[in-house]
Amino acid sequence: MRKTNTVTLGAAIQSVLAELNLRHGVYEARVEAMWERVMGRSVARHTTAIRLKADRLYITVDSAPLRSELFYSRMQIRDVVNQELGVEVINDVFIY
């Protein structure tokens, strides 16, 4: 019998992403894609930028009242986004 080294497609993709340092770019794209569904249309409409750098999520909004509201909800945002991603990627959230 021949011994084979098999891996799942998902594991192979994760390995390639890690090797090429592309994992955070993929996570950032996923956060952008899910943002309206997770945060709602009104928040998404006022969000001008979403960036993921290292373990920090940077959110830019064009409304001062919304900025204040999101500031106080940073940990809930972190938890919801991490849950949707299925992995703990974000440790802190910054609102601008």
Residue type, 61: V
In a domain, 73, yes or no: yes
In a domain, 13, yes or no: no
In a domain, 7, yes or no: no
What confidence category does residue 37 fall into, taking pLDDT thresholds of 50, 70 and 90? very high
Helix boundaries (H) for the chain = 9-19, 23-39, 41-46, 64-72, 74-85
The residue range of the domain holding 31 is 22-95
Q: In the beta sheet, which residues pair with residue 60?
A: 49
pTM to 2 decimal places: 0.78
Any idea what the CATH number is for the domain that residue 46 is in? 3.30.300
Query: For residue 56, what are the CA distances in angstroms to 12, 24, 33, 60, 81?
Result: 26, 10, 17, 13, 12
Q: In the beta sheet, which residues pair with residue 2?
A: none
Q: What is the per-residue pLDDT across 40-74, written as a single tens digit (0 to 9) for each?
A: 999 999 999 999 998 999 999 999 999 999 999 99
78-83 average pLDDT score:
97
User: Would you say residue 1 has pLDDT above 60?
Assistant: no
